[in-house]
Structure formats: structure tokens, C-alpha cells
Chain A
């Protein structure tokens, strides 16, 4: 009776256990190698290349007016994208989880469309809508609003591409959270807004923050769609990523790498900051 259990609970006993341990070790090594090669190596490469001509290149690059303008543009696009995707992401996630209606599964599928589409396609679609002879061109032209080759279309395509992140982070947490606590809040006299602010939001805030972090990283790094709709007008519609693209074409390799490094560090910083906040929060709670 006890014989079969002894081999399975004590892996070090006998040859099968040793082999299993070896296999497990090899798997872990493969995972580490994979992550290191694909994630860390390119990052190290950027750092090395950026600093190759000496530290002064960093200051030089970051003080160029077209670089500061590019960063400013990326910051504006990213901030507006975060505000829009957070607000509508919450609304769509709430509707998907709490409401039952015809077309719900259609909405659920459509939300993921930006994941499936190439950003270049998204950019082309925007040109189709707002370019010469586009469906919406006349409408905006008549009102004196330049959409294509200007900030509005760049914000529009970036927002479109970032739609799924917040929704996909929030939906499962909202589903798991259930209705009981919201019902309880209402019976205790809380209005819908109070219920959302005091009960629902605190429970989905980490999912929301992760969604925002992913949105930030994606918006900062977006190039394909933006490149197509921006018209790459230097000093005017050039974002940080487009700057890298054009700098490389003009053989300003070091400058390109410095800008790339700043972008990468920003994204990593956002992710680390949120992770750190989350840990600190958990710790504060368990110490109570």
C-alpha cells in the first residue's frame, strides 16, 4: 500500500527522481535563457550603443529642440490616450460584465480587434477616413480642423490601438468581484456613484493601474500607425519613436539610441512603480 506513494513524495530517491530534477532544472535554464536573450540583450545593446560616443551625447541629444518637441508630442498623445482608454475602458468593462444585451458577445470580440490588426492597417484606415476624398474629410475641413498630418489623427490611432488593455485587465477582476458588495452598499444607502467610488473602484484599482501601465508602454512605443497618419513633418508631427526612425535614416545612430533608451526606461519605470505600489499596499494591509 505504501510503496507507490514513497517514490512520488521523495523525488531524490532513485533514478526517476534524479532525472525529473534534471529535467526541471533544464526547463528553468531554458526559460531564463529565453527571457535574457529576447528581452535583456537588446536592452543592454541600446544602453551600450547610446553611451558609446561618451556621456556628453546624452545631454546633447536631449537638449536638441526637435528631440524635446518629439518627447512633448509623445507625452501629450500618451496622456490623452490614457485618459480616454481609462474612462471608456471602465465603461465598456462594466457593461460587458454587468449587462446582458443583444450584441454583447459581438462587443466582446470587437474590443480585441486592435490586438489582431497591424498598426499599419489602422493608420491606413485613418487615411481612408480623413485623407483626400475621405468619408469624414469634408466634415472636418469645413470646420477648419486639420485631422490628418496633425495631432488629432495621431491621438486617434494611438487610442484605438490601446483600447483593449484596460478592458482586458479590468473585466476578469470585475467578474470575480461579483455583485454582492455592490448590492450591500446600495442597501446601506450608497448612491450609484458612491458605490462605484467606495466599493467597486478600490477593488479593481490594481487591474486598472496595470491596464494604464500597459497602455502607457504601448502608447509610448507606437510607431506604425502614427508614422502613416503623421506625415513625419520634422519638429511638428514627429513623436519620439518617429524621431528614432528618421534619426536612423540620417545616420544619427547615437541620438536614436539615447531617445530609445529614455522611452524604454520610462515604460520600465511605470511598470516597476505600479508593482512596487501594489506590494507596499499588500504589506500595509497584512500588517494591520
Chain B
């Protein structure tokens, strides 16, 4: 029943704006694939093209051996979940869930049975006669999911399904969706700008940026082995250090790190270092720095370290590895597995700078 989805060379132009450029990937049958990227990266447009809500300028779409490209929305039989729920506001919950069965002229008895089954699945049985505006955001999205699943779609497409919900509800729904997916095994595509969501839920992450695929791979690969500077900066928090390649090393202001063999001598580089890859040691390795600020995040300490060259790094260090270091102390700093990428302009190269980007995800170590 579950089908793989394949898109090839998918392209969409709105007038002169190139929203999606040559996107190719395959979502394995029964898996969850996350389309991850900032807003305006084209990920929602890709999803809407797969659903048939937008017509691609170029490219092809398959579901299994069935080519969808020229088919109408109705013929594609996909389940679609919208960011703002899109429940039918003039229908109660039961009628919303039954809609897809009603337009297919299913018998009332089998329709009612299916609605009951789905309301049980999303744990909303007692709300059958409520109207959408009488439900919370989380409840609405569960109903939207039940409605999408009712006609037994071959694939499930979720467009920022938790984007309009607050953090706590989002966490709960994410876990619930994970369980639901394990139970149903329907091929799912999830559009999200929340990297934590993508890493937690997906079997495959497709990182998009400015309409193109930057990297597609397992969550661990995307996180540990980013293919581009954009992925390194977007997936997971990272410090960025600017410098130059000298003899296969990256010279970053006052110190150097290995790992630039793939780059040309003298090229300007940006090196990405995750906060938990910044080590604070008593051994005399790496570079000298001073702890400017220290905040406790449960079992982790979040440090702001000013290096002797003037750059500031954010470090996440377990308390027991700190060895009693305090705010104001001078420490040795070692950078584990920095990822170096060539950058086009070297204007910023000589003056090494560092800025922690995208703190989301590492600021709450308990999660």
C-alpha cells in the first residue's frame, strides 16, 4: 500500500522568481522524509507540486511506478496537512473527517465506521460534534491529520504541520506523529524549518536553500558531515570562524586547525564548529581564551569564550569537564572536528570573526 515518492529535476518559476530549481530526491516507501530549510527556500512549493496544488515549470514526479506529473490533484490521492489546519469551519469534526469519503460517494455506514476509527486513532472521539473554532490548535491539527488519512492516501504530505503551535504542544504532537507513523507506515513528506523536528522524526533529511537541494541524507550524516557551509550553519548550532588555507590547514587568526586538504592553498574559508565540539582543557593545546560568561543549562554549561585573537566562541561543556573553571578564568580551548568550506569572497577572510548562529536546539539540553 505504501509507495515511494520520486521527484526528478523539479523546477518552479513564479514569473521571474525561481522558487524551486532542479530538485531531485527519492523518499523510500514507508519512511518519513523531511524537507528542511528556512522560509523562502522552496520546500513548501515542492510539497505543493507533489500534491498537484502547483504546476511545475519543469521536472517529473512519481509515486511508485505511477507518474503523477500531469495528473490532477484529485487523481493523486495524497493526504495533505496544512500549517493552519484548513479545517472546514462550517462543518463539525465528524463531517470534516468524513469529507474525503463523502466526495467519493462511500456508503454512510462504512463512512461512519471509518470516522469512528480515525477519531479513536487521533484520540478525539469525544469531540465529534464540536466545530473547529471550539478546538485548540493541537486538537485541530489532529483532526486535520485524521481527515487527511480517512480516504487511505498512498502518501502523506505535511506542510509545517506544527508551525503554528506553541513549543510544548509541538513536542507532544511530534512524538505522537512519530508513534502514529510507526503504526501506519505510510510514506510521509514533512516540510519544516525546525531542524530539531527534522532530525528527530525523519529517516531522511533533504536540506533546501534558495530553491535548491543542499544535501540529502540520513539525519546523522547531515548533522555530522554537512556537505555545504549552509548545511553546517543551518542544521544544528555552530560557531563560524573565518580564515585562510595554509599548507592544508585552516589558519583562523591566532591558531590553525587541520581539515582543509580539499581546498586550494590561500583560499578564504569559513570553519564551522559546534558548541559541543569546543573543548575546554587544562592541557596546553589549541588556543588561549578567557571565559567571559557562563550560564548553566542543567548538566551543561554554556560558555562565551573570548579567544586571544579577539574572536568569541560559544561552547557547551558538561559541568564535570570544566574542572572548576569560572567566569573570568583563562583556559585552553581545543576545537574538535571543525568543518571548513571555501567561501567566494575573501574580504572577511583576514579579520577572523566568529559568531554563533542558530542557537535553537542546543539551548535546551534536557530535550
Contacts and interface: CB of A to CB of B under 8 A. Distances in A.
Our verdict on whether A and B bind, yes or no, reads yes
Contacts of B52: 186-187
B255 interface: no
B88 A184 contact: yes
A100 B80 CA distance: 25
A189 B80 contact: no
B230 interface: no
A191 B82 CA distance: 19
A190 B74 contact: yes
Interface in A170-222: 180-181, 183-191, 194, 198-199, 202-203
A288 B95 CA distance: 13
A186 B100 CA distance: 9
A202 B151 contact: no
B74 A189 contact: yes
A194 B101 CA distance: 13
Given A183-B53, A183-B80, A288-B131, A188 B100 contact: yes
A198 B99 contact: yes
Contact of A181 (B78, B86, B130): B86
A278 to B, nearest CB: 13
A180 B53 CA distance: 11
A280 interface: no
Interface string B170-184: 000000000000000
B104 A189 contact: yes
Main secondary structure of the interface of A (DSSP, over half): helix
Nearest to A180: B86
B80 A191 contact: no
B86 A190 contact: no
A184 B48 CA distance: 11
A143 interface: no
A189 B90 contact: no
Interface in B189-203: none
Nearest to A184: B86
B242 interface: no
Nearest to A199: B88
Contacts of B287: none
Contacts, number: 66
Interface string A254-288: 00000000000000000000000000000001001
A190 B78 CA distance: 12
B55 interface: no
A188 B131 contact: no
B89 A187 contact: no
A202 B99 contact: no
Nearest to B72: A186
Given A191-B103, A288-B92, A186 B53 contact: yes
A101 to B, nearest CB: 13
Interface residues of A, number: 18
A41 to B, nearest CB: 41
A188 B150 CA distance: 9
Contacts of B89: 181, 203
Contacts of B82: 180, 183-184
Interface in B268-296: none
Contacts of B88: 181, 184-185, 198-199
Given A187-B53, A188-B100, A180 B84 contact: yes
B51 interface: yes
Contact of B130 (A185, A188, A288): A288
A186 B73 contact: yes
B131 A203 contact: no
A58 B99 CA distance: 53
B79 interface: yes
B129 to A, nearest CB: 6
A181 B95 CA distance: 14
Contact of A189 (B77, B86, B129, B131): B77
A285 B90 CA distance: 9
B339 interface: no
A185 B84 CA distance: 14
A263 B86 CA distance: 43
Interface string B94-136: 0000011011100000000000000000000000011100000
Given A189-B104, A199-B88, 17 more contacts: A180-B84, A181-B86, A184-B82, A184-B87, A184-B144, A184-B147, A185-B88, A185-B99, A186-B74, A187-B78, A187-B79, A187-B148, A189-B100, A198-B88, A198-B102, A285-B131, A288-B130
Q: Which 7 A-B pairs have the closest CB atoms?
A: A180-B86, A188-B100, A187-B80, A184-B86, A186-B73, A190-B103, A202-B90
28 contacts: A181-B86, A181-B87, A181-B88, A183-B80, A183-B82, A183-B86, A184-B80, A184-B82, A185-B88, A185-B99, A186-B74, A187-B78, A187-B79, A187-B80, A188-B99, A188-B100, A188-B150, A189-B77, A189-B103, A189-B151, A190-B103, A191-B74, A191-B103, A198-B88, A198-B102, A199-B88, A288-B130, A288-B131
